Structure 1
Amino acid sequence: MSASRYTFWVLIAVVAIAGLSQGLSIPLLAVLLEREGVSSVMNGLNAAALYIGMVLISPFLEIPLRRFGYLKTIVFGLSLLTVATALIPMFSHLAVWFVLRLLMGIGDSSLHYSSQMWVTKIAAPENRGRDLSLYGLAYGVGFSAGPLGLNLLPFGLWVPFGTLLVLYALAFVLLGRMKNEFPDAIEQTEKKENKYAAVLRLGWLALIPSFLYGFMETSLNGSFPVYALRTGLSIEWVSIILPSFVVGSIILQMPLGTLSDRIGRKRVMTACALTGGIAFFLFPLSGENVWLMMLLLAIAGAAVGSFYSLGLAFAADILPASMVPTAGIVAGINFGVASILAPNVNGFLMEVWEPWTIFWLMGAFLFVFAAACLAVQRGRTRMDQVSAPVQKQG
């Protein structure tokens, strides 16, 4: 096995652990706050701390990445996650949890940004969609398994948190055997002060999926547990229903990534956005039928669960290699902003309107994105010319 493939597979394992951590911690803390009688609005505000941390750190991550390399930035992020996870069960004050979740957001964003950029760098252009989809698949597998950790709560508050700490220790062991690498240097002809404007001008469509994925993921994992408990579903059912979205994405993650290598990212994302939007709009019809809930969330997950990785692959297709880390920064900010908005918007909707409107909102976002893809697709733009590298080589 080559050194780059070894690095790739270690990153896949580490991101699976990070996915499980996030998949467990978000609904776990939401359930604990709901049991304490905290309102859905305050619950949402507390959950938003994770994503506020992501947004605060994202604009600055490119600096340590270029100075210290991928590996050291990942280790920094994992260290913050470990410390915050160990401290959370020691306190029960909302303000303390807010700060600790803020630190978790900083750590999580550091880890994911560095690992995504590393995978993007070592992936061959003709297999970029496949490799990034495998990265997303690993995250999805961990994330979908995360809510199952809610069933550890009866054994004690420390048990789910202790499980996460053991997994972090395993990640540190895996990372300790890797060799550090650095991103491509920015070309002297590029104006540093204009790099964000250039990324937005050239790759705006490729950066929307990160916002959509952040909104959907946080809506389901941060708001759905509260929605479910208020509609009479048990914690056990929540732990089973929640993973169905990610399980759906797991099923099609690799096929969609490979298909996007062949026919273009934009065509794949357009079809997926339409399918996911329909599934979310139909969700209110499920009523209290948990099996129909699971089916519709699985369909939505299969369609749009790979949006982040497809968007990042699309950005890598249409931007110079030296600008991809900047695109990753913007994507991370988009994800964080959406994740901050989601629990607060959804909490407000559940307080003043019908709870199921949170699913219609997600569906509407997807339909708007599909319309934008179709509008861009009318002309043979630069994005069209490079979004299907394998097809053009063949």
Structure 2
Amino acid sequence: MTGKSLTMLADAPLTERERRRSLVAVIACISVVGMGLGVSIPLLALMMERNGVPASIIGLNTAMPALATFLMTPFIPALLRRIPAIPFLLGCIAISAIAMPSYYYFPNIWLWFFIRFMNGLALTGLFVVSEFWVNMLADDRNRGRLIGIYGTVLSCGFASGPVLLFLVGTEGVAPFAVIAALILSAAVPLVLFGRGLAPRVTERPSHAFVTFLVAAPAATLAGFVYGATETNVFNMLPVYGVRIGLTEQYAAFVLSLFAAGNILLQIPIGMWSDRTDRRLVLLFCASIGLLGTLALPFVMHSVWLFAPSLFFFGGVVVGMYTVGLTLLGERFKGANLAAANAAFVMMFSLGALVGPPMAGVAMDLWNPHGLIVAMSSLCGLYVLVAGWRYLTAPRAPRQ
């Protein structure tokens, strides 16, 4: 695909100016949603802890969005054939915005399970369709860079959320009102810049949903492994740090380093994937994930060792998500790409669901280093898959 042979997103090929407007619309939309999530996740956890909710119930409640994602994603391509992308996204934004004050006005933990599940359905729609939209806008020369920009802006939104929470506080209705307003503001760029430019799905995918695991195992399994790795880092690595003798503040600091790597290295990795075989990049990212995980016990006691290690580890491992999405855009088009994106997000959510329980059991069996065994085992298995695909899969032509 060249600059003059543009992806069909609307009724006619888009001009370069329309492509830029379309990209601004979808990235601005998802970044604002990311900021809202970055506020709401710690806010809800703090409220549950403040109200004496047991940790097991907090964990189950926190898993509701991942469960919603797992159940919702197979149906999104069919929904997009019936509902245009912009109204679909606006509906998801409205549901998510309504959910925020609902947490405050219905302070019952069992109702929160339902509210959080419904919010998870809406967020799933936002993320799957936005990633599909960005993939449709890209061509094979800039796909990695565009998805890297998308991921970086989204990570910045997540990272800025806790800062906003610090400013507005955690008491009363104010933080929920601010989050709802943020999420509603995501509709503005869609209406101003995206109208008439969003992707349309009119045909059925030629692949069944589950066959993407066979058709593109390196890409789809990248989502699973990164989902498990990221969730384990944010949920279990601080616990591991405390158990090996670090202070809680020191152990939590590793998350900031991991997130900083996420933000700063996605675009360079995406640009690299535009210039070489993307399966090689996936193999590199998975290998760093394996080596970085195995190195954790040896670097955690020295800030001079773990600071650069966690930064590089976080920045490279997230490449599995970025490049996995990019590889799907290289392989599939139209309705098949929408279904492939949905399969990828479902695999990510499945990894997020099974990763922490698997790591928790491993830590109970070998305290605390079972976490390292669990995380390195997943990365090691994926290294074998990525290496096999790199050596055996046909090479996509470069333009």
In structure 1, the partner of 2:5 is: none
Q: What is the DSSP-based 3-state SS (H/G/I as helix, E as strand, rest coil) of the residue aligned with 2:19?
A: helix
In structure 2, the partner of 1:330 is: 343
In structure 1, the partner of 2:275 is: 262
Structure 1 residues 97 and 295: alpha-carbon distance in aligned structure 2, compared to 1, 3 A threshold: farther
The reply on whether 1:202 has 2:215 as its aligned counterpart is yes
Q: What is the DSSP-based 3-state SS (H/G/I as helix, E as strand, rest coil) of the residue aligned with 1:125?
A: coil
Q: From the two aligned structures, give the one with the greater helix fraction.
A: 1
Rounded to whole Å, the distance in 2 between the matches of 1:226 and 1:366 is 20
The reply on whether 1:100 has 2:115 as its aligned counterpart is yes
C-alpha displacement of 1:157: 4.8
In structure 2, the partner of 1:251 is: 264
C-alpha displacement of 1:88: 1.5
CA contact 1:215–1:341 (8 Å) conserved in 2 = yes
Supply the RMSD in Å over aligned alpha carbons.
2.9
C-alpha displacement of 1:196: 2.6
C-alpha displacement of 1:280: 2.3
Structure 1 gaps of 5+ residues are none
Of residues 18-27 and 209-218 in structure 1, the stretch that sits farther from structure 2 once superposed is: 18-27
In structure 1, the partner of 2:185 is: 170
CA contact 1:121–1:183 (8 Å) conserved in 2 = no
1:24 aligned to 14, 28, 39, which one? 39
Q: What is the DSSP-based 3-state SS (H/G/I as helix, E as strand, rest coil) of the residue aligned with 2:141?
A: helix
Structure 2 gaps of 5+ residues are 1-15
In structure 2, the partner of 1:67 is: 82
Structure 1 residues 10 and 237: alpha-carbon distance in aligned structure 2, compared to 1, 3 A threshold: farther
The reply on whether 1:179 has 2:189 as its aligned counterpart is no
The reply on whether 1:308 has 2:324 as its aligned counterpart is no
Structure 1 residues 349 and 168: alpha-carbon distance in aligned structure 2, compared to 1, 3 A threshold: same
CA contact 2:282–2:319 (8 Å) conserved in 1 = no
Of residues 32-41 and 74-83 in structure 1, the stretch that sits farther from structure 2 once superposed is: 32-41
CA contact 1:53–1:102 (8 Å) conserved in 2 = yes
Structure 1 residues 248 and 123: alpha-carbon distance in aligned structure 2, compared to 1, 3 A threshold: same
Deviations 1:73-95 (A, max 9, x none): 21122112111122113344321
Pairs within 5 Å for 1:53-202: 53-149=68-164, 151-152=166-167, 156-177=171-192, 178-180=194-196, 181-186=198-203, 194-196=207-209, 198-202=211-215
Q: What is the DSSP-based 3-state SS (H/G/I as helix, E as strand, rest coil) of the residue aligned with 1:2?
A: helix
Rounded to whole Å, the distance in 2 between the matches of 1:294 and 1:30 is 27
The reply on whether 1:363 has 2:363 as its aligned counterpart is no
Matched letter for residue 255 of structure 1: P
- Number of residue pairs the alignment of both structures matches: 381
C-alpha displacement of 1:271: 1.0
Pairs within 5 Å for 1:201-350: 201-223=214-236, 233=247, 238=252, 241-287=254-300, 294-348=307-361
C-alpha displacement of 1:318: 2.1
Of residues 114-123 and 85-94 in structure 1, the stretch that sits farther from structure 2 once superposed is: 85-94
Deviations 1:208-234 (A, max 9, x none): 111122222323344456667887755
Matched letter for residue 179 of structure 1: R
Q: What is the DSSP-based 3-state SS (H/G/I as helix, E as strand, rest coil) of the residue aligned with 1:263?
A: coil
CA contact 1:82–1:165 (8 Å) conserved in 2 = yes
C-alpha displacement of 1:331: 0.9
CA contact 2:34–2:158 (8 Å) conserved in 1 = yes
C-alpha displacement of 1:133: 1.2
C-alpha displacement of 1:202: 1.8
Rounded to whole Å, the distance in 2 between the matches of 1:329 and 1:244 is 29
1:372 aligned to 374, 385, 389, which one? 385
Structure 1 residues 31 and 343: alpha-carbon distance in aligned structure 2, compared to 1, 3 A threshold: farther
Normalization by structure 1: what TM-score? 0.85
Q: Percent identity?
A: 27
2:56 aligned to 41, 46, 54, which one? 41
Normalization by structure 2: what TM-score? 0.85
CA contact 1:44–1:223 (8 Å) conserved in 2 = no
C-alpha displacement of 1:266: 0.8
Deviations 1:168-217 (A, max 9, x none): 13212222213143435437xx75xx533543332122101111222223
Deviations 1:249-269 (A, max 9, x none): 222111111111111111111
Rounded to whole Å, the distance in 2 between the matches of 1:369 and 1:313 is 17
Rounded to whole Å, the distance in 1 between the matches of 2:219 and 2:275 is 17
Rounded to whole Å, the distance in 1 between the matches of 2:181 and 2:362 is 38
C-alpha displacement of 1:150: 5.1
C-alpha displacement of 1:54: 0.9
1:7 aligned to 22, 47, 54, which one? 22
